[in-house]
Each structure stands twice: as structure tokens, then as C-alpha cells.
């Protein structure tokens, strides 16, 4: 038996033995990939950015000496599970036949809102995960997604996305978990644990800075300083690497301070591997290596782009071998050090061994279960609970729960269930490119959901206006329906798409934060009728609601809640469900760009007399109401002073003071009043979602290591400085009724790698 087949040996031993047997050409082949394109696209469009620049070389050519990855066998066109498994087996069989040592390929798929394939459950978008403030629930969801992927033969999932929102106009806000690095990091890490707990490698993306592009344009440059990079953008990735054990990372398309991430040795090797100890594979975002030549212009041609990326620490080219196709020749002709090739290949071989691809019993014909149900009752139950936990009540004067004989449900969301899904959900990502593609799933519309929820009421539905087009032909009918109803529910928001085909999604960036198309005009027209109005925003990004909110009786936000979204939203409107979501992104008042988030420095917040512009949001980060009431009390710090390397311990009480069970998100913020560099006015350092019965209380214990107060100092070292730290507790970034202060004593401490990244919160119910 060859050493690499011997399961009694360590992963490294096996991988090194196999590496030693490979020729240079066989090594280079392990860093490439193959993507079989669909042949029956009738509606046009592309699956990935600038797909037209990707190579279309056949499998027999690409895999002649072996292959690293097989790209999206299930996720590129509508494929039944049995057919997808058959394709996977056939492709793996051919890869094994073509290369001398019979090394199989890793199979990867997208899985941001569930397995991106035909007939698979579409879970809520990532921005809805943030709204739940419930890492445990997200981990359960990711475990289910991973089990489906693994069951059909997939080894690697291209999720989660750990970009921190910096500008709400960016089209991919829906794919993020929110605007706070602590929430993004903790929930993203939970997703990693769930997916990898099912045996599927998680892929962190997009490392790093992608969400901070200038003017919120997709792929635009990122003019960011080192402190913002270190203190806002990197922590979520560090959590997922160090605490979640993420097995793969995908680079960002952007260039930061004029250096493309795909060519950055500083980021891909020094930060990721030398500082954080990452040992997995770095894969390219689709086409990113070629873009070093085609878009960034830092390489003269594709081969040079390949050499730059490999030297930086980028191991695998996705989705198709293009720039890496000349690596073997570059080694032979002295343009590339073989050591760099070996470094990347060893990582790929180790991953294949961990997935059992080199075990002696592995066979192509045994891969995948053709009978797997990808939309199982279990999946639906999890999708339902995530959706229910994410719906967020923003304002309510008592009109909700609904109790009206006649309800007018107007707006484009009312009858379009695809509005519940993100751009990486299969119905929007792929089926929209196929004539009559539909959704491929049973998905109730909001009209159906509300009708089922309110059987005694008469629900009249009228779209009013489309999501995007300037078409007023149905506007008057919607206004008339509203004027004749007891209550109007105006359902507005997004329809996700790709590269301008939607109002939200990859390449669907926005000039401002006004409601898309004529939807604002619809809201105004309904409000003008005088009918009591509930404004429902179903979207992937926050939109400015300041022009409407004060005239509405209630405002509700649902962030692309997935296939169970209709029942979740309707359940909140009816009162069957007590809303518990909180905002992972603020809701702005005005429609201007407003690129700032709650993580604002003093000069980034409202300064009376300095500017006529007020950046404060209409509804702040962390905000969310309930049909019951909660009270926070008795905040105490165990000690008024703590050593510069010590731990602050807080206790407080939360009480459900209302008449029904509910859940509250208790949030802890830190403020550094005086520091050597400018610090945010407040920053989240801990949170927990607490479920309590009517009248029930819980005692919370919060442990905050001083590392959580650290920042990048004047000399770019991470430090904890002595002095006062203000700690406040509340239910949003702007509602923090409890506060205390502690003093950090000692001398300034330089914080080395391996710092404490999370707080600990304990709950003891009375």
C-alpha cells in the first residue's frame, strides 16, 4: 500500500509522501479546477462576475495531469439530485482515470442561503442571521446545510461571508451578517462550526475589505487605513479561523490601498498564516487571479498573474484553470520557485486526505446519495425558526397584532415569494436565467401567508407598482384597495438578482437609499388615503424610511426570510408570533449615501453647529421591539478596577414585565473616553438573546477580558491602555439605560497574537 493510502499515518505524512511522487506538471494540476457550463440557458445572464473571460477548456484537457477542484456540478443549472450525483460520479471517475496516481478532486458548491441547487431549501439570507442574534440557531442551520452537501458528495462550501457592512448602498449587504464585527464574527463562526461539523469545509469570504469599496460599487477600490482594517474588517475572519477552525478562505476581489488582495503576501500569508496560524487552503474568488492582469493591471499577462497570486499565498484557482495553467512551464523555465508550488500543493493534498479522498476504500461510484431529500421537513423546520427569529418590529403604536375585518395588502412583495430570497438562492441565482424556471420549491407568497393567518379577515391584494420598473398602471388599484380597507399593509423592498438584474445582490449596487423604483410613491399614495398603515420592508439592505415612518402606525423589517418567510411575517403581523429580531444594520432616515455605521468616531456622529447633516439613523443598530416589555436593572461591576491584562465581570437582571412570553437581545457596549488614537463612541463587546415567560427574570453574568478593549495604536501595535472604560447595557446601540465605569490599571500592554476575541455571558433564570 502506498503511504498516502495508509490511514494509520498522519495527514501530513501521507500528503508529503504523495507530493514527493508527483511531477511538476502533476503538482500544478492540483491547484486548478474545472467548471462545466450549462448548455441550455435561454434568458441570458451570467452565474459569476465577468464569466465571459473564463476559460471553457474541457475536463479532459484541464485534468490531464490531475485536478484540484470540480466546480458547482449541482449549482450551475437545474439538476435533479440523482442527475447531479451521476454527474459528480462521472466527473470524479474521469479525473481519477486521467491522472497517473488516481487522485480525485474536491467538489465545491455555494451554500450561503442553503445548498444552492435545484429543489433545495432556501434558508433566510445572511443578513437575517444577524437579525436573529442567535449563533446557536445559525450553527444548527449550517449543520443541516452541511449534511445535505455531504450526502450528495460535496466536500467544500463557499460560505460564510464575513464582510462587515460599511456602506448600505453596496449590493451584497444582503449576503453579510451586519455592520458590527463582533456580531459578524460570532455568528459567522457558528456557521463554520455547523458546516464543518457535518464534514464540509467552510470557506470564509471575502478576505478582506470587499464591503468597504469606494461609493459602494462592486469590485471598486478600498481606500482604507491599517487601523480600520485591523479593528473593523479583520476580527470577524480571525474569530472564524482561530475559534471556528475554518478550513478554507477565499480572497476578496478588491485592492486595498492599491494592492490587490489576490497578490497580497501581507494578507494571505503574513496575517492569515503567520499571525493567526491558518493551515487550510486559500482559494481564489472566481476569476480573481486573472483579474490581476485584466482589471487591476499589476500583471502583464495571465501567467504573471498566476505567479503573483501563488507567491502571495493563493493556493487554488477557481472556477477554472486559467492563470495557473502555465505554472509547470514557469517552474521549468526558471520563472517560479518550485518551493512555492510545493507549499500550495501540500495544503491541497492535506485537505483531500482529511476528506477521505485518498483512503483505500474511496471509489467514484460510491459518492453521493441520489435519493437525498434536499428540502426535508427538518430543513423546513429550521428555516422557519430562523425566519421567525429574524423578523424585526421597528415601531408600533398598538395597531399590531392586526385585528381588522378588511386588510389591504399592497406592494410588489405581496405576491412575489422570490423577494424572500437572496441573490445566491438558486431560484434567483440560476433559475431566473432559464425560461419558465420558477422557484423549484413550494414557497407561499405573503398574500397566501397572510390569508392563512387571518382566516376571519378579508385580505385584498394589489401589487401597485413593480420592484424596479417605472410602471404606474396598477398604482390606482392599490390605492383604492387601501382606501376601502380597515388597515393597509404596504409590503415593499427588494427582488434579488445579479449584476443589475435586481434591486439587491452581487453587482446590484444603489446610488442612494431611497426605496427602489416607484415603491416610495406607492407608500406615499397609500398614506394619503388616511387608512391606518403598517409599513413592511422585506429587503436585503436597509432603506431610508424617514419620509414615511412618522405617518405609519407600525413598521416591520424582514431581511429576506427564505422559503418560510410568508408564515413568519404573517405570524408576527397577526400576533401568533412575538417578534424577537433586532437590527443587524441601522435603518437610515434620509436617502443620501450615509456610508457610516454605528461604529462612528466622535466627528462621524452628530455635531450640532458643525454640519447641517445629521448622520444618526431612524432606527439604530440593535433595535427591535416586542409585543411584551422588558426591563434591565441592577448593573454591577464586581470590581471598580481591573489590571491591564485582567477581566471585567458584570452582573445585571433582565425581566419580562409584560403579559406574554418573549425574547430580548441584551447588548453590552464599551466606550473608551480618552485614548491615544480616535476610538468609536461605542462598540459592541457582548450580547445574548434571552427568552423569558411573562413576569420571569434572569440574572446575567458578563465576563469581558481587557483584550476586548484593545485597538491598533499609534505604532500599529495592538494595545490595551490604562484608564477609564465606560460600559453600557441596553437593547440597541442607542438605547443603553444601564451604565457603569471601570478603571484599567497598570502600564500600556501590547497584545500579542492569540488575544481573547469574545466575551462570556451566562444566564440564570429565576
Residues 590 and 546: beta-carbon distance below 8 Å: yes
What number of other Cβ atoms are within 10 A of residue 240's Cβ?
29
Cβ(318)–Cβ(286) below 8 Å: yes
The string of pLDDT tens digits covering residues 251-305 is: 999 999 999 999 999 999 999 999 999 999 999 999 999 999 999 999 999 999 9
Question: pLDDT at position 607, please?
Answer: 84
In whole angstroms, give the CA distance from residue 198 to residue 201: 9
C-beta atoms surrounding 546 within 10 Å: 15
Indicate the SS3 state at residue 337: coil
Give me the mean pLDDT over the 539-564 stretch.
Answer: 98
Residue 23, pLDDT above cutoff 50: yes
Each domain of the chain, given as residue ranges in start order, spans 21-65+95-335+351-366, 407-604, 630-765
Closest among 105, 56, 102 to 76, alpha carbons compared: 56
Whether the upstream peptide bond of residue 401 has omega within 30° of 0, thus cis, is yes
**How crowded is the C-beta side of 525, counted as CA atoms within 13 Å?**
19
In terms of Cβ atoms closer than 10 Å to its own Cβ (0-12, 13-18, 19+), residue 362 is: middle
All cell numbers assigned to 447: 398574500
Q: Tens digits of per-residue pLDDT, 60-98?
A: 999 999 999 999 999 999 999 999 999 999 999 999 999
| Mean pLDDT score, 45-62 | 69
Evaluate whether 556 touches 411 at the Cβ level (below 8 Å).
no
DSSP state of 163: P
Supply the pLDDT for residue 610: 84
C-beta of residue 332 within 8 angstroms of C-beta of residue 24: yes
Taking the C-alpha atoms of residue 445 and residue 577, their distance in angstroms, rounded to an integer, is 18
Judged against a pLDDT cut of 90, whether residue 41 lies above it is answered with no
Q: Is the pLDDT of residue 43 over 50?
A: no
Predicted pLDDT at 297:
98
Please give the average per-residue pLDDT across 504-509, as a whole number.
96
Contact 555, 537 (CB under 8 A): yes
Distance CA(24)–CA(369), nearest Å, equals 35
CA distance 630 to 695: 9
Q: What gap in Å lies between CA 523 and CA 478, rounded to an integer?
A: 10
pLDDT (average), residues 119-138: 98
Classify strands 487-493 and 458-462 as parallel, antiparallel or unpaired: unpaired
Q: Identify which has the larger pLDDT, 396 or 1.
A: 396
pLDDT digits (tens, 9 = 90+) for 723-738: 999 999 999 999 999 9
The pLDDT assigned to 553 comes to 98
Interatomic CA distance for residues 54 and 57, integer angstroms: 9
**44 pLDDT higher than 80:** no
Q: What are phi and psi of 597, to 5 degrees?
A: -115, -175
CA distance 59 to 598: 49
Rg of the chain's alpha carbons, rounded to an integer? Answer: 26
Would you state the pLDDT for residue 432?
83
* pTM, full prediction: 0.97
What value does the mean pLDDT take over residues 308-324? Answer: 98
Residue 489 scores a pLDDT above 50:
yes
- Choice among 39-48, 131-140, 356-365 with the minimum mean pLDDT: 39-48
Q: How far apart are CA 568 and CA 380, in angstroms?
A: 12
**Pick from 89, 84, 27: nearest CA to 341:** 27
Instruction: Quickly state the pLDDT bin for 181 (edges 50, 70, 90).
Output: very high
For 452, the enclosing helix (H) or strand (E) is helix 446-453
Query: Does residue 701 surpass a pLDDT of 60?
Result: yes
Whether the predicted pLDDT of 187 surpasses 80? yes
**What's the grid cell of residue 338?**
518550485
Of the candidates 304, 305, 312, 322, which has an alpha carbon nearest to the alpha carbon of residue 343? 312
CATH of 21-65+95-335+351-366, one of 3.40.50.720, 3.40.640.10, 3.20.20.300, 3.30.200.20: 3.20.20.300
Percent of the chain with pLDDT strictly greater than 70: 97
With a CB cutoff of 8 Å and minimum separation 6, the contacts of 127 are 173, 174, 175, 176, 177, 178, 540, 541, 559, 560, 584, 585
Average pLDDT, integer, range 31-46: 71
- The CA distance from 254 to 222, in Å, is 7
Question: Helix, strand, coil proportions of the chain in percent (round to 5)?
Answer: 30, 20, 50
Least Cα distance to 385 among 123, 157, 683 occurs for 123
> Is CATH 3.30.565.10 the classification given to domain 407-604?
no
pLDDT grade for 42, boundaries at 50, 70 and 90 = very low
Q: Which tens digit of pLDDT belongs to each residue from 513-533?
A: 999 999 999 999 999 999 999
SS3 state at 652 = strand
| DSSP calls for 539-591 | -SS----TTTGGG-SEEEEE----TTHHHHHHHHHHTSS------SSPBPSS-
Query: So what's the architecture of 630-765 in CATH?
Result: Sandwich (2.60)
Confidence of residue 436 (pLDDT cuts 50, 70, 90): confident
Look at residue 433 and tell me whether its pLDDT is greater than 90. Answer: no
Mean pLDDT for the chain overall:
96
Amino acid at each position: 500500500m502506498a503511504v498516502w493510502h495508509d490511514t494509520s499515518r498522519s495527514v501530513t505524512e501521507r500528503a508529503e509522501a504523495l507530493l514527493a511522487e508527483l511531477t511538476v506538471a502533476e503538482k500544478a494540476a492540483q491547484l486548478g479546477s474545472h467548471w462545466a457550463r450549462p448548455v441550455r440557458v435561454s434568458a441570458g445572464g451570467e452565474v459569476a462576475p465577468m464569466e465571459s473571460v473564463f476559460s471553457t477548456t474541457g475536463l479532459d484537457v484541464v485534468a490531464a495531469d490531475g485536478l484540484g477542484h470540480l466546480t458547482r456540478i449541482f449549482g450551475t443549472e437545474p439538476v435533479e439530485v440523482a442527475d447531479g450525483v451521476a454527474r459528480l460520479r462521472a466527473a470524479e471517475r474521469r479525473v481519477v482515470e486521467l491522472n497517473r496516481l488516481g487522485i480525485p478532486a474536491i467538489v465545491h458548491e455555494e451554500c450561503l442561503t442553503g445548498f444552492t441547487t435545484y429543489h433545495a431549501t432556501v434558508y433566510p439570507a445572511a443578513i437575517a442571521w444577524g437579525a436573529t442574534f442567535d449563533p446557536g440557531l445559525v450553527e444548527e442551520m449550517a449543520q443541516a446545510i452541511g449534511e445535505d452537501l455531504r450526502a450528495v458528495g460535496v466536500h467544500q462550501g463557499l460560505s460564510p461571508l464575513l464582510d462587515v457592512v460599511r456602506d448600505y448602498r453596496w449590493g451584497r449587504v444582503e449576503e453579510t451578517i451586519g455592520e458590527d464585527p463582533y456580531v459578524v464574527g460570532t455568528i459567522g463562526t457558528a456557521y463554520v462550526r455547523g458546516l464543518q461539523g457535518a464534514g464540509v469545509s467552510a470557506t470564509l469570504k471575502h478576505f478582506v475589505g470587499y464591503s468597504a469599496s469606494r461609493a459602494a460599487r462592486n469590485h471598486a477600490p478600498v481606500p482604507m487605513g491599517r487601523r480600520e482594517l485591523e479593528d473593523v474588517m479583520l476580527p470577524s475572519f480571525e474569530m472564524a479561523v482561530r475559534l471556528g477552525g475554518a478550513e478554507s478562505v477565499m480572497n476578496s476581489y478588491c485592492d486595498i490601498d492599491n494592492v490587490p488582495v489576490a497578490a497580497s503576501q501581507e494578507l494571505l500569508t503574513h496575517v492569515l498564516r503567520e499571525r493567526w496560524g491558518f493551515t487550510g487552503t486559500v482559494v481564489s474568488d472566481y476569476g480573481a487571479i486573472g483579474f490581476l492582469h485584466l482589471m487591476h493591471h499589476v500583471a502583464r499577462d495571465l501567467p504573471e498573474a498566476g505567479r503573483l497570486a501563488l507567491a502571495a499565498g493563493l493556493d487554488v484557482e477557481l472556477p477554472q484553470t486559467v492563470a495557473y495553467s502555465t505554472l509547470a512551464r514557469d517552474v521549468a523555465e526558471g520563472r517560479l520557485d518550485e518551493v512555492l508550488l510545493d507549499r500550495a500543493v501540500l495544503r491541497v493534498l492535506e485537505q483531500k486526505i482529511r476528506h477521505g479522498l485518498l483512503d483505500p476504500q474511496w471509489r467514484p461510484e460510491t459518492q453521493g446519495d441520489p435519493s437525498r431529500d434536499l428540502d426535508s421537513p427538518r430543513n423546513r423546520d429550521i428555516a422557519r425558526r430562523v425566519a421567525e427569529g429574524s423578523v424585526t418590529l421597528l415601531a408600533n403604536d398598538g395597531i399590531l397584532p392586526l385585528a381588522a375585518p378588511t386588510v389591504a395588502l399592497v406592494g410588489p412583495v405581496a405576491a412575489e415569494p422570490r423577494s424572500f430570497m437572496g441573490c445566491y438562492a438558486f431560484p434567483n441565482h440560476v433559475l431566473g436565467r432559464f425560461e419558465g424556471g420558477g422557484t423549484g420549491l413550494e414557497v407561499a407568497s405573503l398574500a397566501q401567508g397572510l390569508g392563512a393567518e387571518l382566516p376571519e379577515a378579508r385580505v385584498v391584494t394589489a401589487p401597485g407598482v413593480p420592484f424596479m420598473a417605472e410602471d404606474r398602471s396598477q398604482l390606482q388599484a392599490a390605492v383604492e384597495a387601501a382606501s376601502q380597507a380597515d388597515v393597509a399593509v404596504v409590503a415593499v423592498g427588494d427582488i434579488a438578482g445579479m449584476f443589475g438584474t435586481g434591486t439587491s445582490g452581487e453587482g446590484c449596487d444603489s446610488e442612494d437609499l431611497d426605496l427602489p423604483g416607484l415603491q416610495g410613491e406607492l407608500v406615499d399614495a397609500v398614506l394619503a388615503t388616511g387608512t391606518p398603515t403598517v409599513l413592511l420592508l422585506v429587503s436585503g439592505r436597509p432603506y431610508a424610511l424617514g419620509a414615511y415612518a412618522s405617518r405609519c402606525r407600525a413598521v416591520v423589517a424582514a431581511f429576506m426570510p427564505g422559503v418560510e418567510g410568508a408564515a413568519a411575517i404573517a405570524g408576527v403581523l397577526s400576533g401568533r408570533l412575538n417578534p424577537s429580531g433586532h437590527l443587524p444594520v441601522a435603518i437610515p432616515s434620509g436617502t443620501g449615501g450615509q456610508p457610516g455605521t454605528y461604529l462612528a468616531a466622535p466627528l462621524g456622529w452628530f455635531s450640532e453647529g458643525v454640519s447641517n447633516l445629521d448622520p444618526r439613523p431612524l432606527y439604530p443598530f440593535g433595535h427591535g421591539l416586542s409585543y411584551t416589555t422588558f426591563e434591565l436593572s441592577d448593573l454591577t461591576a464586581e470590581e471598580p478596577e481591573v489590571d491591564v491584562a485582567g477581566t471585567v465581570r458584570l452582573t445585571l437582571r433582565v425581566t419580562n414585565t409584560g403579559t406574554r412570553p418573549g425574547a430580548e437581545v441584551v447588548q453590552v457596549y464599551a466606550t473608551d473616553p480618552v485614548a491615544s488614537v480616535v476610538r468609536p463612541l461605542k462598540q459592541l463587546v457582548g450580547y445574548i438573546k434571552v427568552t423569558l415567560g411573562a413576569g420571569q427574570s434572569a440574572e446575567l453574568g458578563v465576563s469581558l477580558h481587557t483584550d476586548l478593549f484593545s485597538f491598533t495604536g499609534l505604532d500599529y501595535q495592538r494595545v490595551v491602555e490604562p484608564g477609564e472604560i465606560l460600559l453600557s447595557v441596553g437593547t440597541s446601540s442607542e438605547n443603553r439605560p444601564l451604565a457603569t465605569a471601570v478603571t484599567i490599571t497598570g502600564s500600556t500592554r501590547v497584545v500579542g497574537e492569540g488575544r481573547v476575541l469574545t466575551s462570556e455571558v451566562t444566564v440564570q433564570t429565576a
